Homo-oligomer: A and B are copies of this chain.
Amino acid sequence: MALMYTNTAMGAEDGYRLWLRYESLATTQAESLRSQARRVVIASPRTATLEAAAGELRRGIEGLSAGAPIDVIDMPAEGPGEGDVVIGTTGGDWRGAPEQTEKAIGPGGYRVSSQAVHGGTYTAVEGQDQSGVLYGVFALLRALQSGNSIDSIELADHPRVGLRLLNHWDNLDRYVERGYAGQSLWDWWRLPDLVDPRYTDYARANASIGINGTVLNNVNAAAEVLTPRYIAKAAKLADVFRPWGIRVYLSARWSAPRDIGGLDTADPLDPAVRAWWAAKADEIYAAIPDFGGFLVKANSEGQPGPREYGRSHADGANMLAAALAPHGGVVMWRAFVYSETDPEDRVRQAYTEFKPLDGTFADNVLVQVKNGPLDFQPREPFHPMFGGMPGTPLMMEFQLTKEYLGFSTHLVYLGALWEEVLQTDTFAQGGGSTVAKVVDGRLDGHELTGIAGVANIGRDRDWSGSDFDQANWYAFGRLAWNPDGDAHVIAREWLQQTFSTDPAFVEPAAELMMRSREAVVNYMTPLGLTHIMGTGHHYGPAPWVDDLGRPEWNPFYYHRADADGIGFDRTASGSNAVEQYHAPVGEQFGSLESVPDEYLLWFHRVPWDYRLRDGTTLWQALARQYDQGVGQAEAMRAEWETLGQHVDPVRRARVADYLDIQVREAKWWRDACLAYFQARSGLDWPDGVTPPPLTLDDYRAMQFPYAPGN
């Protein structure tokens, strides 16, 4: 299509601007904004953060109002005037404001309000602290971009979770593990000499949704990131991010004292090891005074860890915590562990290993737990550690990059998945003990709280590999800010800022996004199936794989389909994973009468002719669900024909091209999985089901040696 290249070099909608587009509003709205936002006034002593906030406000107002450049000034002696947008921190250093807002909106909190002056009004953006001003500015810009008027505006909010972090699984050679959006953003080789302007845009985007920290490197960490050469590079990034309220963290390789420290041990109880880490922390903080801390993957999938020395995860975490504590840093210790030798049901192992350690972690340790007990599958029950570790701050780990959900080429809105997890009731302290309340500290009274998201961000011009994957970045930030947030509302917000505020577009597009997650579950892993993707790269279906070295590496381990039936018995008669949940959750999962259909095969092994509550057999239901998933994908593609009319031609075409891929691959998943399960079960095809177009051998023969992210 000619238009794509015609505009390329000069501002095609390439997705770079994310949800911070600041396109001109409709004429009357733009005129109104011009008259009511004539200049930006900084009411507190200038800092880098206030200047960043003021610059963003100016950029946003100029764009939205399509107006002349506006000034940024310090508060004049006479106080604010009509049409000013005044920003500053509440309390003593707010200079010249006519009145004080009450305090106690909370750290990072803000209030945006219209204030009377000289018979007119000005707009006040008051932050509880520096970051609060920044968040207030972005809240105001979000409101304006979403079509709200600055007139009589009243906004107030504060974050419910302390650490709102991205985890980058980025290697030092710029390869991104499970990355589908190009190379790492971090140009380690040219840092610290070259500072890509894009680093600032990354920080802006994060600040706009409340993210306040980023772990720069892969949890499968290279020890070299802790050498002086790389600390200097990380410090340069920290300098860029600091004005935007974002701290830098690093993934620490447990064996660093051996790898780069010249020691012959990494035993956490060895004094030399403890001294090495303490000195390393001192060195890092000398370069990065507000360094956030370490993320650690230990004794997991081949990574070294304290278990090599017979020490516990708590021994390991607490040793690092002691090194960081004098500087105010934290340790985020991942609970994603399963043993290479333990025959226990893999989904039980983390709970089994960590539960006895509850209450033994140092004050500046969080245990970082994936949302489900397996590994970011399209649907998992919530991880039983949530509600099971009351004495330990648990940090939620979500995965933004769609390792198991179609890479960046399927439209899957993860807000729906995350909301489902966060709003699940653990019953840890009776009804209402949601995962959200565990994570935000309310349930167990923890002050130290956090949510981490494995980033879907790379060097692709559109950051996330597709236009709609940007929504997952956005939704993560918004749900980390408030784990009780509404994914549907967040989808609307994102659509309004990213594409169009036209209600004829926004509402159906938001509904499409909300349905997209159920679609991918249906065409990949319906009825509680899980982990049946291709080996290594995790691309496409491969339920037949049963020849890998360890049982739990094999898809077959998770479904065990044969002529008799299908599913993994996790009831008391099986692995009894249900016992790790509180009553009545475990009982609900453990009983065929009460288990929700979507978890049926996760917890139960049933015969092929098992009748679901709706009367269909399992085999019929499986075929139906797969087909329904394909139908949902096709429906999204069809709806986009209409919805896309509201979108510029370049992005419209790109989204359509991606949806074409999604439909094709949904069919592939359905056909390959049903071909396999039919062969295992030996059953005839249910009535109305079209047999797959290829043979099972054809599906098994497909190879993808250059799949990304592997």
Contact = CB atoms under 8 A, between A and B. Distances in A.
B17 A173 contact: no
Contacts of A706: 171-173, 188-189, 222, 224
A9 B201 contact: yes
A55 B193 contact: no
Identical subunits present = 2
A409 interface: yes
A515 interface: no
Interface stretch (A151-159, A287-295, A650-658): A650-658
A303 to B, nearest CB: 18
Residue among A51, A172, A198 with max Cβ neighbours from chain B (10 Å): A198
Contact of A658 (B14, B194, B200): B194
A55 B2 CA distance: 9
A660 interface: yes
A707 interface: yes
A184 to B, nearest CB: 10
A17 B11 contact: no
Interface in A652-677: 654, 657-658, 660-661
B204 A5 contact: yes
A173 B708 contact: yes
B193 A661 contact: yes
B194 A6 contact: no
A60 to B, nearest CB: 11
B657 A707 contact: no
Residue among A51, A172, A198, A706 with max Cβ neighbours from chain B (10 Å): A706
A171 B6 CA distance: 29
A4 B200 contact: yes
A9 B20 contact: yes
B9 A657 contact: no
Given A172-B706, A183-B459, A12 B190 contact: no
Nearest to A227: B703
Interface in A599-646: none
Contacts of A271: none
A419 to B, nearest CB: 29
Interface string A681-710: 000000000000000000000000111100
A41 to B, nearest CB: 19
Nearest to A703: B224
Contacts of A4: 195, 197, 200
A446 interface: no
A680 interface: no
Interface residues of A, number: 49
A483 interface: no
B200 A657 contact: no
Given A197-B4, A706-B189, A459 B182 contact: yes
B183 A8 contact: no
A49 to B, nearest CB: 13
Given A173-B708, A459-B182, A706-B188, A12 B193 contact: no
Nearest to A21: B9
Interface in A201-248: 201, 204, 222, 224
A355 interface: no
A327 interface: no
Contacts of A10: 17
Contacts of A660: 193
A9 B2 contact: no
A16 interface: yes
Nearest to A180: B189
A174 to B, nearest CB: 8
A707 B12 CA distance: 34
Interface string A398-414: 00000000000100000
A274 interface: no
A663 to B, nearest CB: 11
Given A173-B708, A409-B190, A708-B173, A5 B182 contact: no
Contacts of A194: 409, 654, 657-658, 661
Contact of A201 (B8, B171, B188, B707): B8
Nearest to A175: B175
A657 B409 CA distance: 37
Contacts of A488: none
A188 B660 CA distance: 17
Contacts of A6: 55, 59
A409 B657 CA distance: 37
A200 B707 contact: no
B14 A197 contact: yes
A194 B662 CA distance: 12
Contact of A705 (B14, B224, B705): B224
A193 B466 CA distance: 13
A189 B708 contact: yes
B193 A657 contact: yes
A201 B5 contact: yes
Contacts of A198: 8, 461
B459 A200 contact: no
Contact of A183 (B171, B172, B183, B654): B183
Nearest to A708: B189
A564 to B, nearest CB: 38
A200 B59 contact: no
A279 B183 CA distance: 37
A55 B9 CA distance: 13
A189 B183 CA distance: 14
Residue among A9, A17, A174 with max Cβ neighbours from chain B (10 Å): A9
Given A182-B459, A190-B661, A222-B706, 18 more contacts: A5-B55, A5-B197, A5-B201, A6-B55, A6-B59, A8-B197, A9-B17, A10-B17, A11-B11, A14-B197, A172-B706, A173-B708, A188-B706, A193-B657, A193-B660, A224-B705, A459-B459, A461-B461
24 contacts: A2-B51, A2-B55, A4-B195, A4-B200, A5-B201, A5-B204, A9-B16, A9-B201, A11-B11, A12-B197, A172-B705, A172-B706, A173-B706, A173-B708, A182-B182, A183-B183, A189-B706, A190-B409, A193-B409, A193-B657, A193-B660, A193-B661, A194-B654, A461-B461
The 7 closest A-B pairs by CB, nearest first: A5-B200, A4-B197, A8-B197, A172-B706, A173-B706, A183-B183, A9-B17
